[in-house]
Amino acid sequence: MIKILNQINFVWLSLGSNLNYPINQINNAIDKLRYIPYTKVIRYSSYYESIPLNNYSQPNYVNSVVILNTMLSLDSLFNFIKIIEYSQGRRYNCLRWSSRIIDLDILLFGNYVINTSKLTVPHYDMLNREFVIYPMIELDSSIKLPNGLVIKDSIKFLSNKRVLLLKKCNN
């Protein structure tokens, strides 16, 4: 069942892929986001190449961030995101940070702070991930997190600069 809210929320999503032509996987996911009801893709960042977390031996990732606005509840939007991942071949296994065809994570949902068994928003580790922070800053360096931190100020928390601009966006 789809739950619709009485307000529009801005949502920030992180997209990543390192299998099966990653740029195509990101493009496909962005295209599918456009078909989620009561939701509109506002902008998406350039594509960035990043080294896998924990230096696991696997291909580098391609990452992007998308801004949506939606009237869907967080749970309804989350369910649509999981359908997109599944439709592109994403299967979950018990190996954390393993290679993946596509990964979509909700970074921010309005100014809400949510911590449930299946979802934590803001994303629990976003401030430690260059492949999230740089695209967010590209889209809007003045965005404030629910805790009041301005995203551009989060760069000082990053330990390693392991991200390379891969493809400049023109949307």
Q: Domain locations in the chain? A: 4-167
Residue range 4-167 in CATH 3.40.47.10: no
User: pLDDT by residue (tens digit) across 32-48?
Assistant: 999 999 999 999 999 99
For tokens 């506002």, the residue is 42
Q: Coil, helix or strand for 103?
A: strand
pLDDT of residue 25: 97
Give catalytic residue positions.
90, 100, 103, 105
Whole-angstrom Cα distance, residue 38 to residue 4? 8
Are 135 and 48 in contact by the 8 Å Cβ rule? The answer is: yes
Residue 93, number of CB atoms within 10 A of its CB: 7
- For the chain, give the percent of residues with pLDDT over 70: 87
Count CA within 13 A, CB hemisphere, residue 42. Answer: 14
More reliable by pLDDT, 143 or 95: 143
User: pLDDT by residue (tens digit) across 90-125?
Assistant: 776 656 667 889 999 999 999 999 999 889 999 988
Q: Which of 17-31, 51-65, 66-80 has the lowest mean pLDDT?
A: 51-65
pLDDT of residue 99: 85
Bridge-based pairing of strands 61-72 and 103-109 is unpaired
Report the amino acid identity of residue 22. Answer: P
- For the chain, give the percent of residues with pLDDT over 90: 68
88 pLDDT exceeds 60?
yes
pLDDT of residue 51: 86
Residue 29, number of CB atoms within 10 A of its CB: 26
DSSP-assigned beta bridge partners for residue 152: none
